[in-house]
Amino acid sequence: MKRIIIICEGQTEQQFCNDVLQSYFNLKNIFLQNPTISKTGGGIVNWEALKHQVVTHLKQDSTSIVTTLIDFYGIHANHKYPNWQVAKLQQDKSVGMDLMEEGMQLDIPEDLRKRFVPYVQLHEFEAILFSDINVYDNNFEPDEFLDYKYLVDTINDNANPEMINDGVETAPSKRLSKILKGYYSDNENMKVFYGSLLSHDIGILQIKNKCPRFNEWLSKLENI
């Protein structure tokens, strides 16, 4: 049985792996392990700290695949991620993420890097929660919305939810705070709860269909 270790930025991503990705990979006879970033227990760290965790996992099990599930949104120059500066300058942000992932992989020792598949979520994890408006209609009553029109406009304006931007007030989690009464982007417990609820109901196939970089990541993991 293939084993994949997904290093998650935080509890929201970790719960997503537990509730959504694990059952998907079970069907493919792949065992999933999903620790959070060890230095912080959740939350972005500098590249050297994350690199150390990646290399440690790769050395502990010579058959495992190691990957990451982190947001570009929270990474800054002082974190010193490979190719971050050039990624930030790319007009096509998907190209920027490809360059950054390539830099991360090449910075891993050569004898280990074939089993490392870095993945940086374009902007923010919560973007995938805009993959299907029906889950909102099915899970919430009209009085639970702060601004239903904003939800509709966000989904209609972004055929690829991954492109929802990294603005201070318009990042995916900030948008959800303006849409749902019970969602608070600064409350980790609420982010975990809503992230799990919505992503589970959307389903992995719909997320893959709407989010091309996410779909490409899963395809790499399945076929490596």
Instruction: State whether 32 and 103 are in the same domain.
Output: yes
Q: With the CA atoms of 158, 164, 168 and 173 taken in that order, what torsion angle do they form, in degrees rounded to the nearest 10?
A: 100
Residue 163, pLDDT score: 92
Instruction: State whether 104 and 32 are in the same domain.
Output: yes
How many Cβ atoms sit within 10 Å of the Cβ of residue 216?
A: 14
Instruction: State whether 157 and 170 are in the same domain.
Output: yes
Residue 52, pLDDT score: 97
Residue 60, pLDDT score: 95
Instruction: State whether 153 and 72 are in the same domain.
Output: no
Tokens for 191, please give them. Answer: 């982010």
Instruction: State whether 105 and 27 are in the same domain.
Output: yes
CA-based nearest residue to 76, from 46, 106, 43: 46
Instruction: State whether 141 and 37 are in the same domain.
Output: no
Residue 65, pLDDT score: 97
Residue 224, pLDDT score: 85
Residue 194, pLDDT score: 95
Low-confidence ranges of the chain (pLDDT < 70): none
Instruction: State whether 186 and 142 are in the same domain.
Output: yes
The alpha carbon of 33 is separated from its chain's Cα centroid by a whole number of angstroms, namely 15
Q: How many domains does the chain have?
A: 2
Domain holding 184, by residue range, is: 125-204
